[in-house]
Amino acid sequence: MFRLDGKTALVTGASSGLGRRFATVLAAAGARVAIAARRTDRLADLEHEIKAAGGTAFAVAMDVTDVKSIVDGVSAAETALGPIDILVNNSGVAVDKRLGRFSEADYDKVMDTNLKGAFFVAQEVGQRMIDAKRPGSIINIASTAGLRPFATLGVYGMSKAGLIYMTRAMASEWARRNISVNAMCPGYITTELNADHWQTEGGKKLIAMLPRQRVGKEEDLDGLLLLLASDAARMINGAIIPIDDGYSAG
């Protein structure tokens, strides 16, 4: 049910962390995967890894804060791999500060990537699906922080709350076009970027406060990703799904 043979996927923010994981999972399920990020040196390594495992991948330079770069990147991906069927809108950044200490530059950095960038990537891919009269799946990577406040991540949470609303708006507007738009909301997940933190005193205290006193692993997101990307999710549209071990329910 969850095979993606014959489909083309685009994953933004694919150079590290969850984006890298999403790309390898989609490729292993049979999708042709366009991997996009600003850091093209790391994309080359991921492209080689996917191809070595028998998959199909194509690296695309894309800065989601630049609309022209988005348009050019999507065009390059479709030229190389064919029309996009699945978008994993994953690019994101965080600035860890109390709200009173946020500068305009800090605010713009978070919002331009997490909300504005995500909107224009989804708009570009979604409009191409509409123009081609092709069904598609857009998966926005939001966060539990968009569902409840996280200390020192207020603006990040604001951007993800906006992404959640954007998901519902697009799902409603594009439903008749046979395009599904859903959001995954990961909680605390161990990645290469934060692995050391969970060994610190502060990290251990945070783990002790979680509902089941554990942090998720990247592979814990695989099942939902494959469901939403596949034809098995044909009746799922506008869903906002936490993957946080119950943290947002508390």
Instruction: Give pLDDT tens digits for 87-118.
Output: 999 999 999 999 999 999 999 999 999 999 99
pLDDT digits (tens, 9 = 90+) for 7-30: 999 999 999 999 999 999 999 999
**Is 177 within the bounds of a domain?**
yes
Task: Quote the mean pLDDT of the chain.
Answer: 96
**Is 248 within the bounds of a domain?**
no
> What total number of domains does the chain contain?
1
User: Which residue, 202, 168, 195, 162, is CA-closest to 182?
Assistant: 168
**Is 246 within the bounds of a domain?**
no
**Is 149 within the bounds of a domain?**
yes
Instruction: State the Cα–Cα distance between residues 199 and 218, nearest whole angstrom.
Output: 17
CATH number at residue 63: 3.40.50.720
pLDDT digits (tens, 9 = 90+) for 48-95: 999 999 999 999 999 999 999 999 999 999 999 999 999 999 999 999
**Is 134 within the bounds of a domain?**
yes
CA dihedral angle for residue 229, residue 190, residue 187, residue 172, rounded to 10 degrees = -20
Q: Tell me the residue type at 230.
A: S
**Residue 121: per-residue pLDDT:** 98
Instruction: State the Cα–Cα distance between residues 34 and 83, nearest whole angstrom.
Output: 11
- pLDDT class of 136 with cuts at 50, 70, 90: very high
Catalytic residue among 107, 156, 165, 247: 156
User: Are the beta carbons of 235 and 134 closer than 8 angstroms?
Assistant: no
**Residue 194: per-residue pLDDT:** 86
The pLDDT of 108-131, averaged and rounded, is: 98
Distances from the Cα of 131 to the Cαs of 101, 105, 136, 225, in angstroms?
A: 44, 36, 12, 25
**Residue 189: per-residue pLDDT:** 94
**Is 113 within the bounds of a domain?**
yes
188 tagged catalytic? no
**Is 239 within the bounds of a domain?**
no
**Residue 200: per-residue pLDDT:** 95
**Residue 40: per-residue pLDDT:** 85
CA dihedral angle for residue 77, residue 79, residue 82, residue 86, rounded to 10 degrees = 20
Distances from the Cα of 103 to the Cαs of 7, 100, 108, in angstroms?
A: 42, 9, 9
Domain of residue 15 covers 8-234
Q: pTM for this one? A: 0.96
- pLDDT class of 42 with cuts at 50, 70, 90: confident
What would the two tokens of residue 88 be? Answer: 């994993």
**Is 190 within the bounds of a domain?**
yes
Instruction: State the Cα–Cα distance between residues 17 and 174, nearest whole angstrom.
Output: 30
Instruction: State the Cα–Cα distance between residues 67 and 165, nearest whole angstrom.
Output: 21
